[in-house]
Amino acid sequence: MKSITTRNTLRVIILIVVASIVIGPLLAAFFGGFKGNSELRTNPLWLPDSWDAGNYIGILLDGNFWRYLGNSFFISLMTVFLTLVVGAAAAYVFSQIRFFGAKMILSYLLLGLMFPFAAAILPLFIKVRDLGLLDTYWAVILPQTAFGLSLAILLFKAFFDQLPKELFEAAYVDGCSYLRFFWSFTLPLSTPILATVGVFVFVQSWNNFLLPLVVLNDRSIYTWPLGMMQFQGEYLTQWNMILAFVTLTIIPAVIFFLAAQKYIVAGLTGGSVKG
Amino acid sequence: MTTLDRTAVPRRGNADRVKKGLVSGKFTALLILLPPALILFSLFVILPLADAVYYSGFSWNGYGAPSDFVGAQNYQRLLDHSVFHTALWNTAKLILVSLLIQMPLALGLALLVYRKTPTNTLFRLVFFLPYILAEVAAGLIWSFVFDGDYGITSSLLHAMGQESVYVLADHQWAFPAIMTVIVWKYFGFHMMIYIAALQGVPKDLVEAAKLEGAKPRQVALFVQIPLIKHAIVVSGFFAIIGSLQIFDIIIPMTNGGPSNSTHTIVTYLYSFGLSRLNIGFGSAAAVVLFVLAIGIAFFYQRTTGKGSKA
């Protein structure tokens, strides 16, 4: 039998190897952004000879970069807002109100869990165009919200079902209407699940590529993945510039991830609904 | 929560008020809260999918109303197109790699880091990191890694005295390179599913097995893995449905090349349907994707018992 220390050493070695494969390319991109293109050719992986932040500063001073990020941010924020409000409203109905056909309508809305988004992309393009929404924020926000609804409703309903029933009874006795109850009790009590769904929806929207690619043509409204591909098209083989750009877009994602990670864990395990 | 104190008010005599409240508020609530979801979902999910089926019967460039009805001709063209065969086969390869390499890797790593210690938490965060990065960003970084002039693979080959290879321009290597990136990108997601499940396995079961003299490998194989079967089924479902839809990573890496050898179903329907405004033809590819996804979902749920409810 192997001793515990050998086993643990082996374990740590495996973990470190995998971690370096995960982190390696990201670090190479970060370092690469500081290098000149000729240095990059001979030294693609390790630290740069000199830390020349020129590439980074050039991109940061370019208004386009910030416009792309701003567009993505607005679209993601609106998608989160709409998904939370519309999804929670529907889930509340299914959780609290008994009515004819409820089950069927719920199954209909949950169909989206199985549907591949890409299968709808051509007709979506036609629909968005016919509605006159091409090259507007709504061309991305509305379909994204619609496709996120199924999962949101599923998670919200599961959460609402667990809220204490006595609360509803008591409130109704006091003459509180369904609508008011939704607004002043259900929503405030559901912040953990709202946060969780919100974070997922935000990340998905922030990273979305296919939909913006299809419905946005005007550069001024590009989201950052489109802007990055545009940038790559302009600088083709100047990898140092491209790597700087990619790194700059990854940094906010990493920061958000580290911050939201805690929030998700806290949301799922902590506080919840004891009151 | 101070308002809750009012619960203490005696309930008797209020029964009719309850009834009235229930009836009066109910329909208003229904009429206000439900339609937004129904309308959005129908307009942007159900209707487009139905449209795809309809459009797939026409030869149509997207302008005016579709009028040139061609029956099943678009599907016939698809079946005759060798690039579509490649795309289907590539998609199948992605599914296989996800199930046979990515998931076991994720499971192994989950077993190594599921216990709650600070170092484990750090490793978990690192492994999960690629999952939250945008596919396009990951694709660009890896196309640098695989670049024949600048890349890391080529300088490694140089160091070993070999000539550099333009991995992504090479028929033989381009798709394996893409599969590598996909494993890199998504294994952390599956690992997280397993970790959550492993933490739910009762500790006394594991301890009992150890006391009986089971080695860690045996504990994993005969106690922990059987107990998290449900999580494995769920992650397998995600792996398959996800593999069917791979698009973003391919575009920055190969854009379907060299000579159309790295297309997936979705890059195919984008390149041959949308980019060339063959809306009818592309819709036929979309219908195939749709049918595959639904078919696999049903088949998977049948064979694995209850699945998919994550």
Query: Rounded to 5 degrees, what are φ and ψ at B162?
Result: -100, 165
Name the A residues in 52-81 with CB < 8 Å from any B CB.
none
From A89, which residue of chain B is nearest by alpha-carbon distance?
B33
Q: Do A173 and B109 touch (CB under 8 A)?
A: no
The answer as to whether A146 is a domain residue is yes
Residues from chain B contacting residue A126 (CB–CB below 8 Å): 51, 55, 62, 279
The answer as to whether A56 is a domain residue is no
Residues from chain B contacting residue A89 (CB–CB below 8 Å): 32-34, 36-37
Q: How far is the CA of A8 from the CAs of A197, B81, B112, B196, B219, in angstroms?
A: 37, 53, 10, 22, 16
Residue B3 has pLDDT above 60, yes or no: no
The answer as to whether A241 is a domain residue is yes
Closest of A251, A243, A257, A266 to residue A192, by C-alpha = A266
pLDDT tens-digit readout, B110-128:
999 998 889 998 999 899 8
CA B99/CA B43 separation, integer angstroms: 34
Residue B151 has pLDDT above 70, yes or no: yes
Substitution target from B45, B158, B191 for chain A, most A beta carbons within 10 A: B45
Q: How far is the CA of A258 from the CAs of A205, A253, B120, B133, in angstroms?
A: 18, 9, 15, 12
Q: Do B251 and A229 touch (CB under 8 A)?
A: yes
CA B310/CA A196 separation, integer angstroms: 14
The answer as to whether A9 is a domain residue is no
CA A104/CA B90 separation, integer angstroms: 37
Residue A262 has pLDDT above 90, yes or no: no
Mean pLDDT of A208-232: 94
Q: Do A182 and B29 touch (CB under 8 A)?
A: yes
Nearest to B33 among A93, A249, A275 (CB): A93
Query: How far from chain centre, in Å, is Cα A218?
Result: 23
Name the B residues in 8-47 with CB < 8 Å from any A CB.
9, 11, 14, 17-18, 21-22, 24-26, 28-30, 32-34, 36-38, 40-41, 43-47
The answer as to whether A7 is a domain residue is no
Residue A209: pLDDT band by 50, 70, 90 thresholds?
Answer: very high
Query: What are the residues facing B69 on neighbouring strands?
Result: B58
Higher pLDDT, B65 or A132: A132
Mean pLDDT of A71-92: 96
Mean pLDDT of A98-120: 90
Q: Do B25 and A177 touch (CB under 8 A)?
A: yes
Structural domain for A106, as ranges: 62-269
On the question of a cis peptide bond just before residue B258, with omega within 30 degrees of 0, the verdict is yes
Computed over every residue of chain A, the mean pLDDT equals 87
Whether A88 and A70 have beta carbons less than 8 Å apart is answered as: no
The answer as to whether A75 is a domain residue is yes
The answer as to whether A186 is a domain residue is yes
Residue A127: pLDDT band by 50, 70, 90 thresholds?
Answer: very high
Q: Do B17 and A173 touch (CB under 8 A)?
A: yes
Q: Do A179 and B32 touch (CB under 8 A)?
A: yes
Residue A269: pLDDT band by 50, 70, 90 thresholds?
Answer: very low
Whether B275 and chain A come into contact, CB under 8 Å, resolves to no
* Tokens matching residue A230: 């545009």
10 Å CB burial of residue B303 (0-12, 13-18, 19+) is exposed
Cα radius of gyration rounded to whole Å, chain B? 26
Mean pLDDT of A58-74: 93
Residue B56 has pLDDT above 90, yes or no: yes
Residue B21 has pLDDT above 60, yes or no: no
Per mean pLDDT, which of A33-37, B222-226, B290-294, B297-301 is the most reliable? B290-294
CA A179/CA A26 separation, integer angstroms: 48
Q: Do A127 and B149 touch (CB under 8 A)?
A: no
Judged by DSSP in three states, B234 sits in: helix
Q: Do B130 and A22 touch (CB under 8 A)?
A: yes
pLDDT at A275: 22
Q: How many structural domains are present in chain A? A: 1
Nearest to A225 among B130, B134, B144 (CB): B134
Which amino acid appears at position A253 of this protein?
A
Whether A26 and B141 have beta carbons less than 8 Å apart is answered as: yes
pLDDT at A197: 87
The answer as to whether A26 is a domain residue is no
Computed over every residue of chain B, the mean pLDDT equals 87
* Tokens matching residue B55: 């459009």
Whether A225 and chain B come into contact, CB under 8 Å, resolves to yes
Substitution target from A23, A121, A154 for chain B, most B beta carbons within 10 A: A121
pLDDT at B19: 55
Query: Rounded to 5 degrees, what are φ and ψ at B247?
Result: -145, -55
* Tokens matching residue B176: 């394996």
From A150, which residue of chain B is nearest by alpha-carbon distance?
B41
Closest of B121, B104, B93, B187 to residue A21, by C-alpha = B187
Higher pLDDT, A25 or B6: A25
Q: Within chain B, how many helices (H) and strands (E) appear?
A: 17, 0
Residue B12: pLDDT band by 50, 70, 90 thresholds?
Answer: very low
Q: Do B40 and A150 touch (CB under 8 A)?
A: no
Mean pLDDT of A207-233: 94
- CATH number reported for the structural domain that contains residue A171 in this entry: 1.10.3720.10
Whether A11 and chain B come into contact, CB under 8 Å, resolves to yes
Instruction: Please provide the DSSP assignment of chain A as one string.
Output: ---HHHHHHHHHHHHHHHHHHHHHHHHHHHHHTTS-HHHHHH-SSS--SS--THHHHHHHHSHHHHHHHHHHHHHHHHHHHHHHHHHHHHHHHHHH---TTHHHHHHHHHGGGT--GGGGHHHHHHHHHHTT-TTSTHHHHHHHHHHHHHHHHHHHHHHHHHS-HHHHHHHHHTT--HHHHIIIIIHHHTHHHHHHHHHHHHHHHHH--HHHHHH---GGG--HHHHHHHHHHHHTT-HHHHHHHHHHHHHHHHHHHHHHHHHHHHHHHSSTT--
Closest of B287, B2, B69 to residue A116, by C-alpha = B287
Distance from CA of A124 to the nearest CA of B (A): 6
pLDDT at B257: 82
Substitution target from B11, B22, B31, B33 for chain A, most A beta carbons within 10 A: B33
Which amino acid appears at position B203 of this protein?
K
pLDDT at B1: 38
* Tokens matching residue A153: 């409703």
Distance from CA of B100 to the nearest CA of A (A): 18
Q: Do A45 and B152 touch (CB under 8 A)?
A: yes
pLDDT tens-digit readout, B167-184:
898 889 999 999 999 999
Q: Do B125 and A258 touch (CB under 8 A)?
A: yes
Residues from chain A contacting residue B269 (CB–CB below 8 Å): 118, 121-122
Distance from CA of A71 to the nearest CA of B (A): 16
Residue A264: pLDDT band by 50, 70, 90 thresholds?
Answer: low
pLDDT above 70 covers a percentage of chain A that reads 94
Q: How many CB pairs under 8 A join A and B?
A: 273
pLDDT above 90 covers a percentage of chain B that reads 53
Nearest to B297 among A43, A105, A114 (CB): A114
Q: Do B126 and A19 touch (CB under 8 A)?
A: yes
Q: What is the ipTM, given to two decimal places?
A: 0.88
Mean pLDDT of A9-14: 92
Mean pLDDT of A142-146: 96
pLDDT at B33: 93
Instruction: Give the helix/strand (H/E) hosting B251.
Output: helix B250-253
Whether A87 and chain B come into contact, CB under 8 Å, resolves to yes
Query: How far from chain centre, in Å, is Cα B256?
Result: 19
Whether A211 and A124 have beta carbons less than 8 Å apart is answered as: yes
pLDDT at A97: 87
